């Protein structure tokens, strides 16, 4: 008879393996899809359009996902959404094999379907973590899952670029279907009620999205965190749209070398993931993450300086890779400690709504940011490389201002950051 601690460890490693397999397949597919779109359209705007589908769908589904995750079995929600993803990818395979036409429109439709599915999956997984493993294993789960995702990213970036040169694109789709099936099988073996948590009752337990908004509005530190994440995600378009344009279009590095730079980002995440899995949770997680946001801003701001290097493709690749290692390291250290803190402190009863609100509001600015950067990186002032350098530099400054504003606008002391329980929410807690 296994003890609860042993069962928690088994569930932890099942979750890590599921993440490793799932992210590996989706990352290779996404990398191949990005190269295919860039090759067939040659425009950063079309690339940006495919990217902004995700946040748009997040906003549309925001009032629905949280209540569904809390009202129904989280395991069933995950299984149904994964089956829907597999079905969507099968339809895309059939379309592709019959001769792809109007490819951008079809990719957008596919992304809408997959994002709808992923929105339910990710919210249910976030809310279920406190029931999958013991509290002492939550930090390890977050750290090892991040490391698994990073390892997948390292492999997928190089493998995706190499495979794209030799294999037909439909095999990328087939790989994504296979890995989705494997993660589904692992999900079926997980016990989503291993750890019982005391549920706090809402005054009006209807599972409404409005209650999630009200909960955040009455939490001054949560509100500041979401405000900071919203600003950071708005400017993330400079990475998603700008980096491939800067490196492939302006500096002429190969697809393989671009894959190496993508792997560098994952290497940084891998290193920090292993560190987090072994370190103690910071005493002040919000303050810890806030300080790291400035390192991320610095890395974004100096990325464009590679245009001043000699046009030696491998020199550019190495310098960019080193910067992205640091950025990936900082981003994971930014995300995981505060995520673990939120999972521990936010009442389990409202976690579905909260993580839906967090995931959606934080990404609500991404369509605007993605479209803006898609437009800006398509502008031609004669010297595209120098203009791209200015875009990265100004974005770094803007990110710094966002982090400062999110905290100082309400004069918050991050050493005193706390999550109020449902009973503790009073007029004193209302700061927004």
Mean pLDDT of the chain: 80
CA distance 164 to 35: 8
Confidence of residue 393 (pLDDT cuts 50, 70, 90): very high
CA distances from 183 to 55, 75, 166, 195, 421 (A): 24, 13, 27, 22, 34
Question: Does position 376 have pLDDT exceeding 70, yes or no?
Answer: yes
Tokens at 38, concatenated: 């860039």
**Burial of residue 23, with CB atoms counted within 10 A of its CB: 0-12 exposed, 13-18 middle, 19 or more buried:** buried
Mean pLDDT of 121-144: 82
> DSSP H helical segments within 346-423, as ranges?
351-361, 366-376, 384-408
CA distances from 407 to 199, 220, 358, 413 (A): 31, 10, 17, 8
193-202, 303-312, 354-363, range with the lowest pLDDT: 193-202
Query: Higher confidence at residue 418 or residue 84?
Result: 84
CA distance 261 to 247: 10
For residues 111 and 59, the answer to whether their CB atoms sit within 8 Å is no
245-249, 278-282, 298-302, range with the lowest pLDDT: 278-282
- Note the pLDDT tens digit of each residue in 5-30: 888 889 899 988 988 888 888 888 88
CA distance 83 to 104: 24
Question: Does position 301 have pLDDT exceeding 80, yes or no?
Answer: yes
Percent of the chain with pLDDT over 70: 85
DSSP state of 201: P
CA distance 366 to 387: 22
Mean pLDDT of 395-400: 92
Tokens at 212, concatenated: 């999630």
Confidence of residue 65 (pLDDT cuts 50, 70, 90): confident
**Burial of residue 198, with CB atoms counted within 10 A of its CB: 0-12 exposed, 13-18 middle, 19 or more buried:** exposed
Confidence of residue 395 (pLDDT cuts 50, 70, 90): very high
Confidence of residue 431 (pLDDT cuts 50, 70, 90): very low
Query: Higher confidence at residue 125 or residue 216?
Result: 125
Question: What's residue 152's pLDDT?
Answer: 75
Question: What's residue 42's pLDDT?
Answer: 61
Question: Does position 226 have pLDDT exceeding 50, yes or no?
Answer: yes
Question: Does position 220 have pLDDT exceeding 60, yes or no?
Answer: yes
Tokens at 183, concatenated: 């993660």
Place of tokens 């292993």: 274
Place of tokens 């981003």: 331
Query: Higher confidence at residue 294 or residue 343?
Result: 294
Confidence of residue 206 (pLDDT cuts 50, 70, 90): very low
Mean pLDDT of 348-371: 71
Query: Higher confidence at residue 280 or residue 221?
Result: 221
**Burial of residue 73, with CB atoms counted within 10 A of its CB: 0-12 exposed, 13-18 middle, 19 or more buried:** middle
- Note the pLDDT tens digit of each residue in 399-425: 999 888 888 877 888 888 887 766 665
Question: Does position 374 have pLDDT exceeding 90, yes or no?
Answer: no
Question: What's residue 43's pLDDT?
Answer: 58
Question: What's residue 30's pLDDT?
Answer: 80
CA distances from 271 to 157, 194, 334 (A): 17, 30, 13
Question: Does position 394 have pLDDT exceeding 90, yes or no?
Answer: yes
Percent of the chain with pLDDT over 90: 12
Question: What's residue 272's pLDDT?
Answer: 84
Query: Higher confidence at residue 129 or residue 366?
Result: 129
Question: What's residue 280's pLDDT?
Answer: 76
Question: Does position 181 have pLDDT exceeding 90, yes or no?
Answer: yes
Question: Does position 54 have pLDDT exceeding 80, yes or no?
Answer: no
Question: What's residue 430's pLDDT?
Answer: 45
For residues 104 and 46, the answer to whether their CB atoms sit within 8 Å is yes
63-72, 148-157, 237-246, range with the lowest pLDDT: 148-157
Question: What's residue 51's pLDDT?
Answer: 59
């Amino acid at each position: 008879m296994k003890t609860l601690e042993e069962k928690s460890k088994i569930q932890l490693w099942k979750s890590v393996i599921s993440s490793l397999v799932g992210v590996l397949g989706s990352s290779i597919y996404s990398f191949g899809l990005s190269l295919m779109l860039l090759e067939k359209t040659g425009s950063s705007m079309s690339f940006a359009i495919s990217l902004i589908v995700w946040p748009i769908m997040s906003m549309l589904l925001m009032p629905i996902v949280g209540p569904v995750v809390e009202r129904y079995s989280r395991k069933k929600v995950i299984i149904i959404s994964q089956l829907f993803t597999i079905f969507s990818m099968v339809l895309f395979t059939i379309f592709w094999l019959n001769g792809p036409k109007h490819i951008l429109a079809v990719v957008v439709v596919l992304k809408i379907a997959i994002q709808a599915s992923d929105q339910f999956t990710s919210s249910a997984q976030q809310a279920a973590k406190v029931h999958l493993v013991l509290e002492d294993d939550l930090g390890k789960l977050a750290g090892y899952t991040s490391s698994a995702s990073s390892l997948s990213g390292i492999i997928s970036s190089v493998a995706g670029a190499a495979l794209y040169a030799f294999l037909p694109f439909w095999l990328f789709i087939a790989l994504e279907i296979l890995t989705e099936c494997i993660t589904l099988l692992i999900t079926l073996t997980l016990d989503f009620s291993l750890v019982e948590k005391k549920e706090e009752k809402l005054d009006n337990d209807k599972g409404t999205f409005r209650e999630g908004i009200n909960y955040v509005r009455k939490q001054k530190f949560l509100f500041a965190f979401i405000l900071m994440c919203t600003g950071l995600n708005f400017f993330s378009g400079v990475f998603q749209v700008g980096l491939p344009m800067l490196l492939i279009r302006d500096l002429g590095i190969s697809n393989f070398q671009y894959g190496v730079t993508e792997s560098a980002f994952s290497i940084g995440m891998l290193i920090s993931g292993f560190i987090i899995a072994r370190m103690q949770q910071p005493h002040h997680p919000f303050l810890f993450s806030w300080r790291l946001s400035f390192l991320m801003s610095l890395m974004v701001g100096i990325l464009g300086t590679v245009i001043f290097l000699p046009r030696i493709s491998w020199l550019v690749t190495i310098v960019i890779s080193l910067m992205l290692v640091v950025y990936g390291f900082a981003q994971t250290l930014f995300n995981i400690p505060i995520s673990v803190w939120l999972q521990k402190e936010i009442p389990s009863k409202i976690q579905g709504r909260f993580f839906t609100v967090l995931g959606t509001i934080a990404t609500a600015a991404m369509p605007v940011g993605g479209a803006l950067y898609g437009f800006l990186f398509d502008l031609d002032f004669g010297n595209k490389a120098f203009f791209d350098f200015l875009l990265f530099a100004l974005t770094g400054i803007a990110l710094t201002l966002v982090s400062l504003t999110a905290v100082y606008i309400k004069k918050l002391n991050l050493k005193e950051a706390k999550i109020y329980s449902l009973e503790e929410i009073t007029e004193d807690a209302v700061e927004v």
